[in-house]
Structure 1
C-alpha cells in the first residue's frame, strides 16, 4: 500500500509540473486553455477557474492541457440550424444554445443563415417571432452550450496556431523544462536537509560495527594520508581502500588540530575493501543550489547517454523499465526512506523530461520537430499529415509500452 501511495504522489507531482509548464506558457501567449487534466479516463473531480476547467481523472498515467486550435472545434453551425441565443448587457451574444432548446425558454430562437465563431464573430439569421434577418454580434468570451455543457468559443487569435512560432515552441518546451526544474528543486530541498556530498578528505558517518569505528576513528576526522600516500579528496580515500580488501591500513588523521595515526584492517565485501565510512556532507544555501544544478545536469547527461546506447544497440529493449518495473523499483526505494524517495522523484522527473524531448511523434519532441520544420520552410506542415504522423507515432509508443511492460512482468517471475 505504501508503494501504491508513493507512486500516485510521485507521478501526480511529475505530471502536474509538466502540464503546468504547458499551461502557464500557453496562457502567457494568450492561448485559450479549455482544460488542465491530471490523468486520463473518467473525471473524478473538476472545478472551473475563469476560462479553464481543472480536472482529476481516474487513470494516473499522464495528463494534458486542452488548448484551443490543437483539435478541430467541436461546433460547426451551418445555415438552416435552429439555435437559441442569450445576450449580455452590451447586446452581444453570450450563450449559443446548440440543442435541448426547450430547457432555455428565455433564449431567443434563431434560424441560422451564416455563422462565424472564429473570425467575424457574428451570427446572421432569422428570428422565429418576427421573421426578420438580423446580425447578432458575438462576445469574444461567449459560450456555446451542448447537452447542458458550456464551452467557451475560441476566436482565431486565441488559438494555438495563431501564435508566433517562438510562443508555440516555448509553450511545448515548457512541459519538459518544468520536469528539469522540479528535479532541481527536489535536489536543492534534499541537499538543504541532508547536506551536499563533499569531496573534502573527511570521514562522514561511520557504521558502528565496521572497522573504522572499532579502531576509534570519528566522523569529521581529516585524512591526511593512508600508508604514507597523501589523500586530497574523499574519492582518493574511497578508491585507495576499495582496492585493498583484507589489508592493514595506517591512516594519518587530523582531529581537533592534533595529528595522529590510526591502524585499521579493511573488510572484504564482494572483492571490495571497506572500513565502514560514508562520504561527508556539507550544508549551506549556496552548496545546496550548486548541488542541485550539478545533480540535475548529471542525470540529464546520463539519460541522454542511455538513449544513445539504446539507438546504437548497446543496450536492448529488455533492459528498459515500464510502469510495472518503475512500480517495483519505487517499492524498493520507499523501503530506504524519504531521502531515497526524493532522489528517485528527481531522477524520474528528469527521465520524463528527456523522454518527452525525444523527436518522436506524439511526444513534445515530435511536436517541436514539426515547429522547427515550419521555421525552416516558412510555412506550417499540412495539419492532416502531422495528425497522421502523430497517430502512427502514438500507436508505436503504445506497442513499445506493451513490450516493455511484458518484459517487466517476466522479470518479476525470474
Structure 2
C-alpha cells in the first residue's frame, strides 16, 4: 500500500479472514543481552538467529567501538572479546538496551567513554543507573542535563564492585545493566532495588537466566535483591528465541480480522514478557493453541475488553491498547506508569492517537482506560516509536484510511515489518509461511 504523502503508510484493511504462519525474527531483548555478555566473556561466542535490526546494530557497533570484534554476517554472529578501550564515543540511537547496558561495561574500559544518542533519547531517564555507578566509585560526568544523555563514563580498567542501591521504578534495565557486567567487578556485585515499584520483572529474570547460562553465579533468592559472584563469563554457542512481543501484532491480527495466525518456534518456557500473550489473548476472546512449537491464535473478529495488570509486560501495552480500541467493552491497563519514559511517553501517545481516530482513551496514574467508540481513518503518529507504528497497523486492519507516520521506525526491532504484514494478509493457504515478506510453500 502507498500513500500520496511519502512519510505516511496506508495501513491495509483486512478483507477476509487470515490464514498465515509468520516467522518472527529473534528477540531484541535476548539478542542485546547476549551481545553485551559475549563482549565480557573469556572466549568467543556464536549467537544463532540473532535479530539484526537497528537496536542490535547499534549494540554491535558500540561494542566494536569499545574494541570487541562482532561479525554480523550470516545466521551465526561471531563475537570475539578483547580488552575494552576508552577515548571513544558510543552512539545509543534510541536503544534503551545500549544506553543502559553498556555504561557499566564502559567502566571496565581503559579510558573515557562518551554516550550520546538520537534527539528523542535525550529525554529518557538514566539518573538511577548513573547514580549507582558513582556509588561504586565510577566517575560519570553529565555532558548535558543531569541524569540524561549525553554523559561520559571514565573507565579505569576495573570496578571494585560491592553493594549498591538503585531505584528501578522507571526501568528494569537499570538493574539488568548492572548485573550484566557484575561478574567482571573485583568483588562482584549486590544490587538492591529501593523504589516503590519494579516494572518488567521478567526482563530481570531474563538477564539472570542469560548470566547463569554463561556460568555466572547469581543469587536472586531474596525479593528485589540480586547478588552476582565475581568470576569468568563463558563464551557460548546459543540459539536466540523469536521475539514474542514482536509476534503480538500478528497474533492480534487474527482477532481483529478473524481467522488464524501461527508463529513457529514458540518456546515451551521463556523469560520474555511476550510469553504472557496466550493468556491475555484468551481473556480477550481468542482461541489459542500450542501444537509442538507452533502457537496459533484464532479469532472471529470479536474482541472483549479486560482489566489487565501489565506491570510485567509493559512492552505489550501499545498492541493491547490498539486491540482494546476495537473491542466490545472497555479495557483498563494497569501498572505501566513507567511507559512514560520509553521511546516516547507511550501513555500520552496512545491516548492521543486512539482519540485522534475517534476513540476514547484516557490516562490514569499508572495506565490507560480504553472505551471503544466508532473509529475513523486519519494520520496515526508514531513519535519515532516502533510499537506505536505496529499499533497503528493493527487498528488499520479494521478502520479504512489509517495512515501510519514513519512506519520505517519499526526497523528498530522488526526490520521488514511492512513486508511481513502485507505478506500475512496476502497468505490465504494454510501452512504457508510468511518470512521477510515472502510467502513460502507448505512446511509439512
TM-score between the two structures when normalised by the length of structure 1: 0.23
Greater RCO (Cα-Cα under 8 Å, separation 6 or more)? 2
Of Structure 1 and Structure 2, the greater helix share is in 1
User: Who wins on radius of gyration, i.e. which is larger?
Assistant: 1
TM-score w.r.t. the length of structure 2 is 0.22
| Greater percentage in strand | 1
